[in-house]
Amino acid sequence: MATVTSTKTAAKPVVGSGWPKPPGKNGSNGNGQGRRFGGRRRFSKETYRITVWILLAAIVMMFAALASSYIILSANPEWQPVRMPGAFMFSTGLILVSSATMTAARRRLQRGQSRKYRGWLLLTLMLGVAFLACQLKGLKQLVGAGVFFSGNPHSSFYYLFAGTHGIHLLGGLTALAYLASRSGKVLIGEASEKRLAATDVVALYWHFMDGLWVCLFLLLWFWK
């Protein structure tokens, strides 16, 4: 009898059959889900931007509600004109200048000028602190003029606008202080990209807070 000899052949993976795909370029997993280094997903600055935009949207809604209440209540018979404190005018100039210094800091970082970047950051930080000091002085001027939080609907909004904006600005000052504390370190690669992305979102937040105060100031100045 003839002996029948069978040979086993290894099965080859079929594309689309569920077999893992070979890694692609730059450490991607072959499915286009982003690059990985050492088993973790590569840094993406979009995460920073999305987070800050969500935060800004929430702040916009809150201040829009306050501004709407201000306009509606201005028709109240108890509404009495309040003179703008001189310190509020000066503080508005300070925060506008701080927006320019923040832009300068960001540009110096993009050019790799770390020492100048730190200097502009510190200047922005000092201007922000000076702004808050002027705001507090403005509130004291209101008290000195006999204008209190519970005096009338108009005076209440001076305290609400300045206080709520100041609290949010403290968040920006904290972020600036953090960036300044780490600005002396030399970073390369992904760490350098994270610093630039963090500076971008802090600059965005700072410019937003600057513009927000200018809008509130104009509302208080013209809508009496």
Amino acid, single-letter form, for residue 176: L
Please state, in angstroms and rounded to a whole number, the distance separating the CA atoms of residues 28 and 34. Answer: 6
Instruction: Reduce the DSSP state of residue 16 to 3 states and report it.
Output: coil
Q: pLDDT under 70 in the chain at which residues?
A: 1-44, 184-191
- The mean predicted confidence, pLDDT, of the chain is 83
Please report the pLDDT score of residue 191 as a whole number: 67
Instruction: Reduce the DSSP state of residue 36 to 3 states and report it.
Output: strand
Burial class (CB within 10 angstroms; exposed 0-12, middle 13-18, buried 19+) of 177 = middle
80-104 tens-digit pLDDT: 989 999 999 999 999 999 999 999 9
pTM of the model: 0.78
Amino acid, single-letter form, for residue 178: Y
DSSP 156-197: HHHHHHHHHHHHHHHHHHHHHHHHHHHTTS---THHHHHHHH
Give the pair of three-digit tokens for residue 57: 């949207």
Max intra-chain CA distance, the chain: 120
What count of residues does the chain have? Answer: 224
Of 170, 167, 159, nearest to 66 by C-alpha is: 159
Give the pair of three-digit tokens for residue 50: 């999305």
Please report the pLDDT score of residue 94 as a whole number: 97
Encode 84-141 in three state secondary structure.
CCHHHHHHHHHHHHHHHHHHHHHHHHHCCCHHHHHHHHHHHHHHHHHHHHHHHHHHHH
Please report the pLDDT score of residue 6 as a whole number: 43
